[in-house]
Amino acid sequence: MAKCAIALGSNLGNSLNTVENALKELANIPGIDLIATSSWYQTSPVGPPQPDYINGCVVLEIEQKPEELLTILQAIELQFGRVRKEKWVARTLDLDILLYDDLVIDTPKLTIPHPHMIERAFVLVPLAEIAPNWIEPVSKKAIAQLAKEVDCTGVRLLNQHDIS
């Protein structure tokens, strides 16, 4: 079994419902065990003007190889209506592999650790909540340290009363 971290995000439709149901789909796949789930966060978008996101992270123990996991995540995104047209646009569901044990992979289809994770508070804040001591293998820094070094403006804990 390998340990991996996944980021979940959505900003189209009922985003909270989407990420929670995507999480259930992921947890029902044989060979995938959900170890920890962060809180959900409302976050400002990166890129062109668009609605705020709901973001969170999970830590999984999995039997799948990284490429197999990528295929599974993309299938779940499709199931929830994800259309891949261009980068950094609004989406129904985004599932990204952040970390996979301490592997460093760089292929045309897959880069682990996620190439932008150390710049993104919407990833680091929820990941630090559930895996603060996990060492990001390129920077050699703990997730909690990386979260302290990034601008966290626009990332706020989603409270139940915030949900309309």
Identity of residue 102: D
Check pLDDT > 70 for residue 89: no
82 is catalytic: yes
For residue 119, the 8-state DSSP code is G
Helix (H, G, I), strand (E, B) or coil at 23: helix
In the chain, domain spans? 2-162
162 is catalytic: no
Tokens standing for residue 20: 């929670």
Q: Per the residue annotation, which of 33, 82, 151, 156 is the catalytic one?
A: 82
> What is the dotted CATH code of the domain comprising 2-162?
3.30.70.560
pLDDT in tens, 13-65: 999 999 999 999 999 999 999 999 999 999 998 777 889 999 999 999 999 99
94 is catalytic: yes
91 is catalytic: yes
Find the Cα–Cα–Cα–Cα dihedral 105, 108, 114, 118, rounded to 10°. 100
Predicted confidence band of residue 84 (pLDDT cuts 50, 70, 90): low
Identity of residue 47: G
Q: Per the residue annotation, which of 33, 52, 91, 101 is the catalytic one?
A: 91
Mean pLDDT of the chain: 92
pTM (predicted TM-score): 0.92
